[in-house]
């Protein structure tokens, strides 16, 4: 079971390929870009791969889809028939509620889809920037549904462990999407909104490290994140509203020069933030 097909050799798919190849897996790939396949073969990231040979999927008992959310769903709709009976399939998609049930329904009882979300990335794209080390300090969330089996879950866990994730957790698809709305999507929205303010264009010369840290994620892949935001709209809008409420509370305390309230909010912030420091 160490022979795996990866569909989509972008930054994440490529990093998974690199990491698993180093752990002795035999990795094959499908990607729409011929240069990507050539590069991956030449650099021994994969054993072999194709751009157009869809039927190739038939040969694999284990498949990792590393595609944008919509592309992933469309791909399964179109190529479901080529997936091998009894195969176990996983993914890397950053939203779950909107896609997991659809994929599981499409696959029916033929193959098992065990959803996974490696919470890793960087602000660069493509196989050439692939690096298995991005997983080392990151969390991997596995989000099984009632349709999953122990065998499927164990496959996802094994992949995550072999990729050296710092932590592997299990969450329901709903809890996952709520968590991701707050920790990842809301923070990307904040960074984007900050960069869209006119001032950010004029103050580059004075920018310090804390502003740089805060806006690093403002360098954003608009196609992927537009899909992710819309697929998680319900939870994201809720978190955006909660953030606005919290921000307005702080603003009001400053306007009213209510130093007691200001200090209270800062003490809560400091106390909570300290829990986030790694040992």
- For its own copies, the closer CB: 71 or 215: 215
Q: What does DSSP say about strands 62-65 and 48-50: parallel, antiparallel, or unpaired?
A: unpaired
Contact 98, 235 (CB under 8 A): no
Angle formed by the axes of helices 233-255 and 259-275, to 10°? 140
* 1 binding its own copies? (CB under 8 A): no
CB 262 to its own copies: min, Å? 5
Residues 197-216 interacting with its own copies (rule: CB under 8 A): 197-201, 203-216
Residues 230-249 interacting with its own copies (rule: CB under 8 A): 230, 233, 236-237, 239-240, 242-244, 246-249
- For its own copies, the closer CB: 79 or 187: 187
CA 97 → CA 82, 100, 102, 214, distances in Å? 25, 6, 9, 28
Q: Find all residues with CB under 8 Å of 215, minimum gap 6, and list them.
A: 191, 194, 195, 200
CB 270 to its own copies: min, Å? 5
- Diameter over CA atoms, the chain: 68
**# residues near its own copies by CB under 8 A:** 84
**b/e map of 138-169 (b: 16 or more CB within 10 Å)?**
bbbbbbbeebbeeebbebbbebbebbbbeebe
* 17 binding its own copies? (CB under 8 A): no
Residues 105-144 interacting with its own copies (rule: CB under 8 A): 119-120, 137-139, 141
CA angle centred on 153, ends 173 and 139, rounded to 5° = 60
Residues 156-175 interacting with its own copies (rule: CB under 8 A): 167, 169
CB 259 to its own copies: min, Å? 5
CB 126 to its own copies: min, Å? 16
CB 97 to its own copies: min, Å? 16
Contact with its own copies (CB under 8 A) among 52, 85, 222, 279: 222
């Amino acid at each position: 079971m160490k022979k795996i097909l990866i569909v989509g050799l972008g930054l994440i798919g490529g990093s998974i390929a690199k990491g698993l190849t180093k752990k002795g897996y035999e990795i094959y790939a499908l990607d729409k870009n011929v240069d990507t396949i050539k590069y991956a073969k030449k650099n021994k990231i994969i054993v072999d791969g194709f751009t157009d040979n869809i039927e190739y999927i038939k040969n694999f008992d284990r498949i990792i889809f590393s595609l944008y959310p919509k592309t992933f769903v469309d791909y399964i709709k179109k190529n479901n028939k080529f997936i091998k009976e009894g195969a176990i399939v996983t993914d890397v998609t950053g939203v779950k509620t909107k896609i997991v049930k659809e994929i599981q329904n499409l696959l029916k009882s033929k193959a098992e889809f065990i959803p996974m979300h490696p919470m890793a990335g960087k602000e660069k794209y493509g196989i050439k920037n692939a690096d298995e080390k991005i997983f080392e300090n990151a969390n991997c969330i596995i989000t099984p549904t009632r349709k999953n089996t122990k065998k499927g879950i164990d496959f996802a866990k094994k992949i995550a462990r072999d990729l050296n994730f710092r932590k592997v957790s299990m969450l329901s698809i709903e809890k996952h999407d709520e968590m991701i709305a707050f920790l990842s999507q809301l923070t990307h929205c904040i960074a984007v909104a900050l960069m869209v303010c006119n001032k950010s264009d004029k103050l580059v010369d004075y920018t310090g490290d804390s502003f740089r840290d805060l806006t690093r994620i403002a360098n954003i892949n608009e196609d992927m994140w537009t899909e992710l935001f819309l697929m998680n709209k319900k939870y994201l809008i809720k978190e955006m509203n909660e953030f606005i409420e919290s921000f307005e509370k702080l603003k009001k305390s400053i306007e009213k020069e209510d130093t007691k309230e200001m200090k209270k909010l800062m003490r809560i912030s400091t106390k909570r933030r300290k829990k986030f420091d790694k040992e």
